Copies of this chain bind each other. A is one copy, B any other.
């Protein structure tokens, strides 16, 4: 299967990451893994892609971070959704659903014309 186009990955990155964090707080590396698993390997965010997004979300106050120490002593930066972030997740979802509905309707028309 061909790689997904960059613009589509970019457009879905925010809703996707917010959705992962809605399941529970998580840290960068684990978020990457969760998305890879959820997409059966179709999507794999590089760290250099993910951390700027997390930084931006934090700047928007959609998420908040906190350092924790893992069992092996490693430091991990955990992110969790804020109430603002939950609202934004809802907004991202509605936006996506809107565009998706428009596309599905158009494709339905295409199908009917075939």
Residues of A in contact with B (beta carbons under 8 Å apart): 2, 4-5, 7-12, 15-16, 19-20, 22-24, 35, 38-39, 42-43, 89, 91, 93, 95-96, 98-100, 102-103, 105-107, 109-110, 113
Contact = CB atoms under 8 A, between A and B. Distances in A.
A58 to B, nearest CB: 19
Nearest 3 CB-CB pairs, A to B?
A11-B11, A19-B106, A22-B110
Copies, count: 2
Nearest to A96: B103
A113 to B, nearest CB: 6
A11 B4 contact: no
Contact of A12 (B16, B35, B103): B103
Nearest to A11: B11
Contacts of A107: 19, 93
